[in-house]
Amino acid sequence: MTTDPIIQLEHVNVARGNNIILHDLSLTVRAGEHLAILGPNGCGKSTLLKTVTCELYPIVSPETQVHIMGRARWDLTELKRRMGVVAADLPGRQTLTTTGFDAILTGFFSSSTLWPNLHVTDAMRERAEEVLHLVGGEKLRDKFVGEMSAGQQRRIMIGRAMAGTAGEAQMLLLDEPSNALDLAAQRDLREMLRGLAQKGVAILLITHHIADILPEIERIVMMRDGRIVADGSKKELLTAERLSGLFGGEIHMTERDGYWNAW
Ligand SMILES: Nc1ncnc2c1ncn2[C@@H]1O[C@H](COP(=O)(O)OP(=O)(O)OP(=O)(O)O)[C@@H](O)[C@H]1O
């Protein structure tokens, strides 16, 4: 069954500063797909994510197209809310003194805290409760984000990203989600993301850690020097030979319980 594309990029070139970072890049992601975008440092993964969230715009050319959830134009706040973007950093200093529950509610407004002028509805509270439960954050409800561990913060930030995504296209975009987490927190995060993937939340994961690739992720997109150099199934692409070519040097792989490790 094919579903409508959530992300549709055609012949996209993106510049940052004086350099062109993405070169003639085309990518289509459909609703419900789980995929990982892999590539070495500086290959343009985060630039691609920022293009998808319309924080960066492509150089205009006749063949270039960017359609996100079927639309070429978006209000940035609404798009971020609908896409479920999990950034590597907290949204602002105010978040540190915001409780876990309120931090999830800020996802409806893309704000750093619950400013007094924001109108929180009963439906939002209900959804935030649901999300708090989904991410297993019940114990973090009344704790200040600034007093949480990195893993607990990540959990709440994933909840925040999910708050506004109820409905037809639930998708999480994660940029290096396991950075700065210890081994146990990495495992907890992966298991939580697996649970969400199994509940139908589409996962788009940007990483250079092979161990972050959930068993549910079936599609791998490989990037190098601002280009997509391979796009296919995990079986085809997650091999020692392919990864050695992508990252350079000799890489070995082992598989255990659906997860892969590379060294
Ligand atoms: N704000 C910026 N201004 C100018 N160039 C930038 C900017 N941000 C990133 N770049 C450049 O764009 C290129 C791609 O960076 P990007 O962050 O997209 O790569 P990445 O694959 O996400 O890297 P990493 O794995 O290290 O996070 C790099 O050469 C980087 O130096």
Residue 2 binned pLDDT confidence (cut-offs 50, 70, 90)? low
Residue 16 near ligand 1, beta carbon < 6 Å: yes
Q: Is residue 6 scored above 60 in pLDDT?
A: yes
Q: Is residue 57 scored above 80 in pLDDT?
A: yes
Residue 208 near ligand 1, beta carbon < 6 Å: yes
Q: How far apart are CA 162 and CA 143, in angstroms?
A: 19
Q: Is residue 211 scored above 70 in pLDDT?
A: yes
Site to probe by mutation for ligand 1, drawn from 13, 22, 37, 45 as the one with most ligand atoms within 8 Å of Cβ, is 45
Residue ranges per structural domain of the chain: 1-84+171-181+194-263, 90-164
Q: Is residue 100 scored above 80 in pLDDT?
A: yes
Give 240 Cα–ligand 1 centroid separation in angstroms: 26
Residue 62 near ligand 1, beta carbon < 6 Å: no
Q: In this structure, what is the dihedral angle of CA atoms 178, 42, 169, 113, given to the nearest 10 degrees?
A: 60
Residue 17 near ligand 1, beta carbon < 6 Å: yes
User: Averaged over 78-107, what is the pLDDT?
Assistant: 88
Give the pLDDT confidence score for residue 221 in this predicted structure.
Answer: 97
Give the pLDDT confidence score for residue 169 in this predicted structure.
Answer: 56
Q: Which atom of ligand 1 is nearest to the CA of 40?
A: 25
Write down the CATH number for the domain with range 1-84+171-181+194-263: 3.40.50.300
User: Averaged over 74-97, what is the pLDDT?
Assistant: 84
Closest C-alpha to ligand 1, atom 10: 16
Give the pLDDT confidence score for residue 75 in this predicted structure.
Answer: 84
Residue 106 binned pLDDT confidence (cut-offs 50, 70, 90)? very high
The residues that bridge with 23 in the sheet, in sequence order, are none
In single-letter form, the type of residue at position 65 comes to Q
Residue 207 near ligand 1, beta carbon < 6 Å: no
Mean pLDDT score of the chain, rounded to an integer?
Answer: 90
In single-letter form, the type of residue at position 171 comes to M
Site to probe by mutation for ligand 1, drawn from 14, 18, 47 as the one with most ligand atoms within 8 Å of Cβ, is 47
Backbone angles phi, psi at 19, to 5 degrees: -110, 145
Residue 23 near ligand 1, beta carbon < 6 Å: no
Question: What is the DSSP code (8-state) at residue 113?
Answer: S
In single-letter form, the type of residue at position 35 comes to L
Q: How would you classify the pairing of strands 85-86 and 171-175? A: parallel
214 neighbors 197 (Cβ within 8 angstroms): yes
Q: Is residue 1 scored above 60 in pLDDT?
A: no
- DSSP H helices, 120-233, are 122-134, 150-163, 183-198
pLDDT in tens, 8-40: 999 999 999 999 999 999 999 988 899 999 999
Backbone angles phi, psi at 258, to 5 degrees: 85, -5
Give the pLDDT confidence score for residue 193 in this predicted structure.
Answer: 92
Q: What is the pTM of this model?
A: 0.90
Q: How far apart are CA 169 and CA 174, in angstroms?
A: 16
Angle at 81 between CA 145 and CA 192, to 5 degrees: 55
pLDDT in tens, 164-178: 776 655 789 999 888
Give 86 Cα–ligand 1 centroid separation in angstroms: 18
